[in-house]
Amino acid sequence: MNKIREYINKFERVEGKTYIVTGANSGLGYSTSKHLISLGGKVIMACRNLEKANHAKNDLLKIYPKAQIDILTYDQADFNSIDHFVHQVKSEYNDFSGLVLNAGLFHPKKAMLTKDGYPLTIGTNYVGVFYLLKKLHEDHFFEQMIDRRIIFVGSLSWSKVRRNQIEHILKNNPSSSIKEYAQSKTLLGALAYQLSRHKQEELYFPPHVKALLMHPGVVATNIVSSKESSYPQWFSSLAMKALGFFVPSSDKASLGIIKLLLDKNISEDKIVVPRGLFHISGYPKEVKYAKKLRLVDEKLIQISQEILKKDLPDFL
């Protein structure tokens, strides 16, 4: 039995529980799905590309023929897609135990926008997540007396976001795609922190709904090779091969997500990161929230709400 399997087997089995994983057809999302299935959980793969999702599902069924796997269409860069997704979850998976917010993108072609007009990286990695959580909130998912864990997948690349920058970041393409990615993941991490405080706001998690944050370190996934990437194909292929040699696999990097979903003693006051040097790789451990996340404007939720309200008059 390898070390990854030994780590997973420390947790209780999860038969009868349902977990939703966004971006589940590859990388961290695929590995998270595989680990949950190995423990008996039912997995809902929330994916933009149904062809890739079905291929991933078939691969998982080859490993675990009796696995319970469903696929839902989910495009985090399209509010209409998110609306439809929430409707399906409400109809069919109302009792889900965990939601893994893994979907995201890195370094898209310059000046690309979401379907609703936001810069593509910030619009996908942060605005789309905020919109999804607001829609779940509006449909009273978090009021139900069901213990749920909402897992935010962050990044090593936290950046400093000044209090007066948030609206500008959400509405404007920066000069650097790397900077935009860092800002998007910083706002996502700050959102997780503020929701974990359980304050009554426009978006509110009661105490039985845990907001939990992790980052996987540096990991070999296909995030640099998506069709929106600004990198040429030869570079993306080379980068993937190089990453495979020098950094941990997604099977190992996703263990932090499993810990947040299943560890009975997990604390919302901490985040989970790799235990290795500079948190680049290694098995999961808990550390304090980064100062850069704690210091983002405490009105982040209110500001995000107001921006969406301006663009979407019917947004509550």
CB 173 within 8 Å of CB 119: yes
- 9-18 average pLDDT score: 98
What are the CA-CA distances from residue 142 to residues 20, 208, 255, 280 (Å)? 15, 8, 25, 33
C-alpha dist (Å) from residue 68 to 38, 90, 256, 269: 11, 18, 22, 33
Structural domains in the chain, CATH included, are 3-311 (3.40.50.720)
Region of 288 (left: φ > 0; alpha: ψ -120 to 50; beta: rest) is beta
Q: Does position 224 have pLDDT exceeding 60, yes or no?
A: no
pLDDT at 247: 66
Per-residue pLDDT, 221: 55
Share of residues in the chain with pLDDT > 70 (%)? 90
Query: Above 80 in pLDDT, residue 79?
Result: yes
Could you tell me which of 138, 123, 132 has the C-alpha nearest to residue 187? 123
Q: Assess whether pLDDT exceeds 60 at residue 136.
A: yes
Q: Tell me, what's the pLDDT at 176? A: 79
Q: Is the pLDDT of residue 173 over 80?
A: no
Residue 236's pLDDT is: 46
Burial grade of 172 (CB within 10 A; 0-12, 13-18, 19 or more)? exposed
- The pTM of this model reads 0.91
Stretch 182-209: mean pLDDT: 95
Per-residue pLDDT at 114 exceeds 60: yes
Query: What pLDDT is attached to residue 248?
Result: 72
pLDDT digits over 27-52, tens only?
999 999 999 999 999 999 999 999 99
pLDDT, one tens digit per residue, over 229-244 is 444 553 445 444 545 5
User: 1-10, 14-23, 159-168: which range is least confident on average?
Assistant: 159-168
